[in-house]
Copies of this chain bind each other. A is one copy, B any other.
């Protein structure tokens, strides 16, 4: 069932429970704002004392109201909130917005109160925004609800905005207004007991009035649901997110602030990327991007033309465009010829097109009109520097005229002029976003292009492979029985094998015949490693012999090992030797999973070996992976060039590595109690180009594993016991 917040966001009638006549109280401010913004429905103040509030008859109880109520905005003291919800239920109200603070954010007792609150909301089949929030707003002309106590009245537009911080939400509404950025709906989710960012995404998915979604988040409540919804919704409209608390210091501030556990930033970053959410790292960037999406269509490609009346900013814009990996458009010969027909000879008709300082308004118009029609051009930056005799606002109007006739391509203006210009603009209807600096324009185009690529990107599938679950479960049960959370290397390799992951072939042998049989079946060259209960430093006693090329040599080395051990009196503890396939390759990758307490299993892939911590050339995605995710992971690390076969090495089997990641993803998705899993190295074979797990490490969360596998320490259901 899709989230339906109509009762809250499109109410026909609102009861303000805790409405007040006392100045500078929320109960009074709220009433004023609802009236002032001319709410298109009925407002019913509720106050135990009754009386007249904002010219309206106040009811002593919500149940006293004679008409039907869609939304109750609650501002009573926290201790009365539960009983107020009961009364709302009695009255048949289905929408709540609880502004009252004093819940989870205050500690244990508050958290318990919030738990009870949510229980009632669920039981009564209500939806609830808050508690501890700033309120809700809908600017649609047939609604006009300002149920929020921010400083300024809302500005009409088409942004849907969710804020986890009430105060910041208010600050943002102020700034949006200044930037001439209007919004359609605003939800201050507060402690997000019921309604959260995910609910809003789902609700706005098919809400035409909301054309882009802005999120300010300090934590993501249900990452898996967020991913599902955001992935779908972002294909229809851009979702921009500012996720605060990304540094360790910031996350600790975030957690003390909202009482919610902020997930590690790597996991959040992966989740947002996989979900097609455009992540911004500052409010300024968030707003600038919103301004671009509010005034530009999604482009058809990434070829940028720059039109300027001054060289310097043209260079700076070119720098910025190139640094984003977008392309400078090749202006067609026809376009160049046309430009030459009216521009002075000193002008440059190559991209950046420099009309030179003398360019009159007419040249701006003609040049934009000519360039916008060029099929080689997808997006345009138009730069204006003030020279004597030309008014910035006139140039802007001229550009907007042309743009109005050609709405199909994004145009961004860079006007390096006085602040007044932007103030003037904020009172006008614009169809071009204007910025002061070239870099802001390039940023904006880059975001448009990012959204284009995401919308064009296939959704991807999560494949399901045929695997040997029984094998895995028996291995893990055995470890549980032994009281080991950490599987041995051999057990780990066996688990990987059971999931069809190409691991190094091996076997354990306890006598010469077994040794030789193993060597012959694995194929030479092999590695021989002793395994002993008493000798932990294998290499000190020559316990690891590499590159054994044939049966004869294997026999010889085995005998020599036994002799060495006997000489040192270490033969006693010997359990046997592991004969292992010797994989040749000098490209060491790493893959595995780490578990984030909030986001669940997170996959990692990148450059392995000694470089893993030094170069940090690794990438993360939340499991389960789609095939697209796996492919993007592989291609996004710098070491991908090594996989492709840089410097004469054999190209790696990218598809096989991709499958390795996908099978691994299936494994950790099937067994959520796997806490850590490392394949390091995943060696790229110089012979076949395969990625081969040469070493593996798996650790489980014991209690969860026991529960999931249905085994207790006393049980006898497991073959391994």
Query: Which of A177, A313, A419, A439 is packed against the most chain B CB atoms within 10 Å?
Result: A419
With A167-B385, A171-B416, A322-B250 as known contacts, state yes or no: A316 contacts B283, CB within 8 Å. yes
In the complex the two chains form, what is the Cα distance from A649 to B611 in whole Å?
Answer: 12
- With beta carbons under 8 angstroms apart, the residue of B258, B316, B646 that contacts A610 is B646
Please state if A314 and B171 are interface contacts (CB–CB under 8 Å).
Answer: no
- With beta carbons under 8 angstroms apart, the residue of B284, B437, B586, B607 that contacts A282 is B437
Q: Report the contact-size class of chain A (Cβ under 8 Å from the partner).
A: 35 or more
- With beta carbons under 8 angstroms apart, the residue of B258, B387, B649 that contacts A311 is B258
Which residues of chain B are near A348, meaning CB under 8 Å?
256
A418 within 8 A of B: yes
A328 within 8 A of B: yes
Which residues of chain B are near A647, meaning CB under 8 Å?
610, 613
Which residues of chain B are near A614, meaning CB under 8 Å?
638-639, 641-642, 646
A257 within 8 A of B: yes
In the complex the two chains form, what is the Cα distance from A103 to B581 in whole Å?
Answer: 73
A57 within 8 A of B: no
Q: Which of A24-46 contact B (CB under 8 A)?
A: 24, 29
Q: Which of A423-443 contact B (CB under 8 A)?
A: 423, 436-440
In the complex the two chains form, what is the Cα distance from A350 to B247 in whole Å?
Answer: 17
Please state if A439 and B284 are interface contacts (CB–CB under 8 Å).
Answer: yes
In the complex the two chains form, what is the Cα distance from A437 to B437 in whole Å?
Answer: 17
A295 within 8 A of B: no
In the assembled complex, the CB of A676 is this many whole angstroms from the nearest CB of chain B, namely: 19
A615 within 8 A of B: yes
A234 within 8 A of B: no
A323 within 8 A of B: yes
Number of copies: 2
In the complex the two chains form, what is the Cα distance from A586 to B586 in whole Å?
Answer: 11
Q: Which of A297-351 contact B (CB under 8 A)?
A: 309-316, 318-323, 328, 348, 350
Please state if A357 and B167 are interface contacts (CB–CB under 8 Å).
Answer: yes
In the complex the two chains form, what is the Cα distance from A315 to B251 in whole Å?
Answer: 7
Please state if A385 and B315 are interface contacts (CB–CB under 8 Å).
Answer: no
Which residues of chain B are near A171, meaning CB under 8 Å?
310, 313, 385-386, 416-417
In the assembled complex, the CB of A679 is this many whole angstroms from the nearest CB of chain B, namely: 17
In the complex the two chains form, what is the Cα distance from A700 to B385 in whole Å?
Answer: 46
Chain A 642-667 near chain B by CB (<8 Å), digits 1 or 0: 10001101000000000000000000
In the assembled complex, the CB of A370 is this many whole angstroms from the nearest CB of chain B, namely: 20
With A249-B328, A318-B250, A638-B614 as known contacts, state yes or no: A244 contacts B419, CB within 8 Å. no
A residues adjacent to B (C-beta < 8 A): 24, 29, 149, 151-152, 164-165, 167-168, 170-172, 174-175, 177-178, 216, 218, 242, 244-250, 253-254, 256-258, 281-284, 309-316, 318-323, 328, 348, 350, 352, 354, 357, 385-389, 416-419, 423, 436-440, 586, 607, 610-611, 613-617, 638-639, 641-642, 646-647, 649
